[in-house]
């Protein structure tokens, strides 16, 4: 039997958060439902951040309330602070994620606080989530390059990853936020992170600005990583990381993994329908912005 590699679909959150034009809540819900049909078991669909900072995610509660839920699937939400945690609970998110940065410059731009300050906000979230057995994922952004600070040392990434893991995050997703990392940088970073967090608890989150995301996936596969984040239709970027292009497109990743002989549990035909939906939402957004 072939080995399983999981694709954690982040398009409805990491993809759509960056779309400038207003996208109807109903369209977001349809996209999530189609992704469920395609076979993903974890889908990030919401972000309970400040609606002033990220207006596109302001209807996250309605999206979580409006989707058709499936047994065994988890619908995830970002929570930057306790306010976000409470909103996520009210909307019945199945899992949440805290997001830290390995570089000070990006932490400040993204969260309006330094790395230490971000951990002060995450600590009560992890405490509260532990009491109700709510799974918490941890992101580390800028694992190789930061748009503000330049190259990021692997040891810095390892320190932040170790801390998130020690606080109770069940999985650490390593973000090449601006998609400029080379496989060599990813390898050095992973070798450092694997010293403090087992590879079985790591995920790769590679944006595709330099079209090297699949090379970085191959590198991470060779070092034992078996979970990868991707966004349907290659949607995305980050509003606070200038130059960040879309995420690795889920359909490209799925094809690539199947070609390598892995199982993903994702149906390419249903995924292709989701990618069509995602692309039409992108052009809708662009149209609304122009209008």
Active site residues: 238
Q: How distant, in Å, are the alpha carbons of 110, 155, 164, 219, 222 from that of 196?
A: 25, 10, 11, 19, 18
Q: Which secondary-structure segment (H or E) carries 33? A: helix 25-38
Binding residues vs ligand HMG (CB under 6 A): 14, 17, 47-51, 53-54, 78, 80-81, 83-84, 87, 99, 110-112, 139, 141, 175, 177, 205, 238, 240
Nearer to Mg ion, 6 or 14 (CB): 14
Question: CB under 5 to 8 A by kind: which of ligand HMG, Mg ion, none does 240 bind?
Answer: ligand HMG
Q: From the CB of residue 280, how many other CB atoms can be counted at a distance below 10 Å? A: 13
Nearer to ligand HMG, 228 or 240 (CB): 240
**For Mg ion, which stretch binds (CB under 5 A), given 7-15, 67-75, 85-93, 272-280?**
7-15
CB of 71 to Mg ion, least distance (A): 28
Q: Which residue, judged by CB position, is nearest to Mg ion in the bound state?
A: 14
Q: Report how far residue 101's alpha carbon sits from residue 285's, in angstroms, rounded to the nearest whole number.
A: 29
Judge whether 279 and 27 are in contact, CB under 8 Å: no
CB of 67 to ligand HMG, least distance (A): 20
**For Mg ion, which stretch binds (CB under 5 A), given 9-17, 77-85, 100-108, 115-123?**
9-17
> CA-based diameter of the chain, in Å?
52
Question: CB under 5 to 8 A by kind: which of ligand HMG, Mg ion, none does 45 bind?
Answer: none
Q: Which residue, judged by CB position, is nearest to ligand HMG in the bound state?
A: 175
Question: CB under 5 to 8 A by kind: which of ligand HMG, Mg ion, none does 28 bind?
Answer: none
- 19 counts as binding Mg ion under rule CB under 5 A: no
CB of 276 to Mg ion, least distance (A): 22
Q: Which residues contact 138 (CB under 8 A, 6 or more apart)?
A: 97, 98, 99, 100, 161, 164, 165, 167, 169, 171, 172, 173
CB of 205 to Mg ion, least distance (A): 6
Q: Report how far residue 106's alpha carbon sits from residue 265's, in angstroms, rounded to the nearest whole number.
A: 34
Q: Report how far residue 237's alpha carbon sits from residue 18's, in angstroms, rounded to the nearest whole number.
A: 6
CB of 161 to ligand HMG, least distance (A): 12
Question: CB under 5 to 8 A by kind: which of ligand HMG, Mg ion, none does 53 bind?
Answer: ligand HMG
Q: Report how far residue 13's alpha carbon sits from residue 79's, in angstroms, rounded to the nearest whole number.
A: 12
Q: Which residues contact 79 (CB under 8 A, 6 or more apart)?
A: 48, 85, 87, 88, 96, 97, 98, 125
- 14 counts as binding Mg ion under rule CB under 5 A: yes
Question: CB under 5 to 8 A by kind: which of Mg ion, ligand HMG, none does 47 bind?
Answer: ligand HMG
- Residues in touch with Mg ion (CB under 5 A): 14
């Amino acid at each position: 039997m072939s080995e399983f590699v999981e694709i954690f679909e982040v398009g409805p959150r990491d993809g759509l958060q960056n779309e400038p034009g207003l996208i109807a809540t109903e369209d977001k819900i349809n996209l999530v439902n189609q992704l469920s049909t395609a076979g993903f078991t974890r889908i990030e669909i919401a972000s309970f951040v400040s609606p002033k900072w990220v207006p596109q995610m302001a209807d996250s509660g309605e999206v979580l309330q409006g989707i058709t839920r499936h047994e065994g699937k988890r619908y995830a939400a970002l929570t930057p602070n306790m306010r976000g945690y409470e909103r996520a609970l009210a909307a019945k998110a199945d899992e949440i994620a805290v997001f830290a940065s390995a570089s000070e410059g990006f932490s400040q731009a993204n969260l309006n606080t330094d790395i230490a300050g971000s951990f002060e906000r995450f600590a009560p979230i992890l405490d509260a989530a532990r009491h109700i057995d709510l799974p918490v994922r941890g992101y580390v952004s800028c694992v190789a390059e930061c748009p503000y600070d330049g190259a990021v040392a692997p040891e810095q990434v390892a320190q932040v990853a170790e801390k998130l893991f020690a606080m109770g995050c069940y999985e650490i997703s390593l973000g090449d936020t601006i998609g400029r990392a080379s496989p060599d940088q990813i390898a050095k970073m992973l070798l450092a992170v694997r010293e403090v967090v087992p590879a079985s608890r790591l995920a790769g989150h590679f944006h595709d600005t330099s079209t090297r995301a699949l090379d970085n996936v191959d590198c991470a596969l060779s070092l034992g990583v078996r979970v990868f984040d991707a966004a349907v239709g290659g949607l995305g970027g980050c509003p606070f990381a200038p130059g960040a292009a879309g995420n690795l497109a889920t359909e490209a990743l799925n094809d690539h993994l199947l070609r390598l002989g892995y199982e993903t549990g994702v149906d390419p035909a249903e995924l292709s329908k989701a990618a069509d939906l995602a692309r039409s939402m992108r052009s809708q957004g662009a149209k609304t912005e122009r209008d």
